[in-house]
Chains A and B, each alone.
Chain A
Amino acid sequence: MTEMTQDLNRFDRIIDRYERSEESLLAILQDFQREFHYVPEEGIRRLSEVMGVPASKLYAMGTFYKALSLTPRGRHTIKVCTGTACHLKGATQILETLERELKVKRNGTTEDGEFTLECVNCVGACAMAPVTIVDEVYHGQTRPSKIMDMVKKQVGG
């Protein structure tokens, strides 16, 4: 099997999980995102070919939906919830602390490719505000003085 077909297979595997319908497009793109930590261009081209939808439309979707990223994300994702309750309880300070300590701006990835720092809209855990999610793990009542330790503890080292 050539590398080319291997590559196509990894996309086809995901595409084949779904009905061949445009209703599945967003779900497929999100599965790409989950699997590859971003939506690769080859993925978009392959999906366009298989489904018969314009690549421009898929690309537009990739730039429109916040859940999708067209550039590779870091090995770990830190999401700071910026919902109203979290904002009132100091989410801005959490975000600023992380930006400062990790030397990265929001929506950016650290130079070593370890962390991507993002803001996320209210995740509905408002009673635990402010909430920070590290790789799908929810942390509540986070504090600027403790956040870095907490991140390091979770990802290990």
Chain B
Amino acid sequence: MEKISVVIDGRTFQAEKDTCILEVARRNGIHIPSLCYNSEVTSSGGSCRVCLVEAHQGGRMRLVTACNYPVREGLEVRTDTPLVHRIRRGVLELLLARVPDSEVIREMAAAEGITEARYRKDEGENERYKCIACALCTNVCAEVVGVHAIAMVGRGADKKPATPYDKPSDVCIGCGACAYACPTGAISLKEQDGVRRIWHKDFKMVRCSVCGTPYIPEAQVDWIVRKTGKDRSFFDKCPDHR
């Protein structure tokens, strides 16, 4: 619990040693955009490169991802320099070219003055939809949920989250945490008539005994009961009516 001083954009803040720059910035009202990081998921971050900022330390300067760079005594951060913006624009332009259908990316790019990518359309675009291969979904599934239903598959620009062989997964519990965590809403989660469909698999939902709303997959209830020993009847009612 060692406390240190870190300077961000000319202002000095106290923070616990090894907290990441992004957390310190957020707590102090300094905005740094980010996509692939979630503070609940320690394995997340470092992938999209949107949060790159200048780190001045030990006489050198380099760009570092704010979401996982540990603050230590003597660190000076600059989040708003021409270099930071130039590189951020470059990253966003690549992402825009990759997933032109993503509103989130469009908005972020527009905030940096980019409305169109100069690169031509590539074949992988349609399959990719809105996915920026940031791995937040797979990190959540592995670290938070713990079922490892999906993993990042392949290499390079075709890297994407998938179940083994793109088949319905034996271990997926249909919780949808991946879809909620996804920064661009790229994961398809559809519900109809009390059935949720995600990752090519159908999950029968439990209906609330009070309001009748389907609110949680049975498979997820099974899993929670297995893990925690909680009584199954707890899930008869949805959170609004418990």
Contacts and interface: CB of A to CB of B under 8 A. Distances in A.
A57 B162 CA distance: 10
A58 to B, nearest CB: 8
Interface string B120-155: 000000000000000000000010000111111111
A59 B154 contact: no
B171 A54 contact: yes
Contacts of B151: 54, 56-57, 59-60
A41 B155 contact: no
A119 interface: no
B2 interface: no
Interface in A27-73: 41, 44, 54-60, 63-64, 70
Contacts of B170: 55
What class of interface size applies to chain A in its complex with B? Answer: 10 to 19
B163 interface: yes
A63 B148 contact: no
Contacts of A59: 151, 153, 162, 164-165
What class of interface size applies to chain B in its complex with A? Answer: 10 to 19
B169 A56 contact: yes
Interface string B158-199: 000011110001110000000000000000000000000000
Interface in B48-75: none
A60 B153 contact: yes
Question: Which of B148, B164, B165, B170 counts the most A-chain CB atoms under 10 A from its CB?
Answer: B164
B155 A64 contact: yes
Given A56-B148, A56-B169, A44 B155 contact: no
Q: Which 4 A-B pairs have the closest CB atoms?
A: A54-B148, A56-B151, A59-B164, A60-B151
Interface of A: 41, 44, 54-60, 63-64, 70
Given A54-B151, A55-B171, 17 more contacts: A54-B147, A54-B148, A55-B170, A56-B148, A56-B149, A56-B169, A57-B148, A57-B151, A59-B151, A59-B153, A59-B162, A59-B164, A59-B165, A60-B151, A63-B153, A63-B154, A64-B155
